[in-house]
Structure 1
């Protein structure tokens, strides 16, 4: 009888032992799960995978920078205090009975300040410093003889004048012929060009196009983009024949 009474207690102990083992197993699994979740949380990135929240936005594309020619125009054009027409007037007055053939805004070079050459140049005023703005003009008399006249683009004074020494007879004849055909003045041509394209005039030149028409080629620089547009104007009737923008 006593043995029969002890059997339930043994089963109870076995059951209790099994329950205890189960509890320990559950506790261990829970600890492992917490540890795994903690490791995953530490390894997870802080940014939102969907790209919202605190995720950084993609950088915006910057505006393209200016090329060297545009940068040079932006630096040089504002330096000139004397406009092309004032410089042209000064150049024409320097050589009696002459007319404008070309004029260009550029930086003063060593060549422009030289006092040697054949024939010897006239230097009525001090030359600007090297790199300063100047108008390099070329004027010609009725026989086609060309003279180079450099005008300070700040003061408007002629600082160097010299006859072109390397002109051939054909060159003179060609220049004289162009001047005869150019019934439109450079001032009229520039007005036609700037009515078409707004900006600052940096060059005017009497030349022939591919169709052998005598034209005034007028360079106009935009002070917004610093692009240069060349406008071709018929030197006989003042009509705009075409334009070409050079952003380089």
Structure 2
């Protein structure tokens, strides 16, 4: 049992003085019980501080420079891309570019598996002309099947990820789950703006279950 708040008696002070004499660490101790030890100042509690520019690695510095410049988020970018391709669904979005010219690289697809790349200005939200992707029948069939299985939307997957890690979604993509088993999943990247790390989640596209997560501190 640990006892707290018990005053120091003569025996305690005598022991302190013996240690002081041996190590020359303390001075002026008396044998009288009226002497008291000087109170020690408690250390101030440590506080988490935001990462400074000098402490950031290259990837963190790039995120710090780019992410705040995007005035349009992933959801708005996908909405603009879907509007540019009627009857399409969201497949992917990634924040790219430079701090002076940030943009979202998005992909949307129609139910037959025809995919279109749409670049969306991350400041104005304006979508450029959609660019058709692969016409390979196998690719289209695979994408159509993936869309048919996915019941979780991009927004729902992003919400699941940001409930786990508060931050800004910078990447999201629908694909096959890493562990296989014919499962479709959303991969979502979330950047935290206090340290500029990125946490990636793989989320089952049928039930919103988190399949795995990875914290990138490099």
Fold conserved between structures, TM > 0.5: yes
Q: In terms of Rg, which structure is larger?
A: 1
Distance in 1, matches of 2:131 and 2:173, equals: 19
Distance in 2, matches of 1:200 and 1:222, equals: 7
Of 150, 167, 171, the match for 1:182: 150
C-alpha change, 1:186 and 1:63, in structure 2 (3 Å) is closer
SS at match of 1:220: strand
Spell out the pairing of 1:122-133 with structure 2 (5 A cutoff): 132-133=101-102
Match of 1:196 in 2: 164
Match of 2:178 in 1: 210
Superposed displacement of residue 209, structure 1: 1.9
Distance in 2, matches of 1:63 and 1:210, equals: 35
C-alpha change, 1:141 and 1:65, in structure 2 (3 Å) is same
Which one is further off, 94-103 or 203-212?
203-212
Match of 1:139 in 2: 108
SS at match of 2:196: coil
Superposed displacement of residue 210, structure 1: 2.4
Instruction: Give the gaps of 5 or more residues in structure 1.
Output: 1-61, 109-129
C-alpha change, 1:230 and 1:167, in structure 2 (3 Å) is farther
Superposed displacement of residue 83, structure 1: 0.8
> Over the residues paired in the alignment, what is the CA RMSD in angstroms?
1.8
- Alignment length (residue pairs): 165
Of 155, 161, 172, the match for 2:124: 155
Instruction: Give the gaps of 5 or more residues in structure 2.
Output: 1-51
TM-score, structure 1 length as denominator? 0.63
Match of 2:55 in 1: 65
Superposed displacement of residue 234, structure 1: 0.6
Distance in 2, matches of 1:104 and 1:210, equals: 19
SS at match of 1:237: coil
Superposed displacement of residue 69, structure 1: 0.7
Matched, 1:84 2:52: no
Of 82, 85, 90, the match for 1:95: 85
SS at match of 2:55: coil
Q: Is the 8 A contact 2:177 2:204 kept in 1?
A: no
Which one is further off, 185-194 or 203-212?
203-212
Q: Deviations over 1:3-39 (max 9, x none)?
A: xxxxxxxxxxxxxxxxxxxxxxxxxxxxxxxxxxxxx
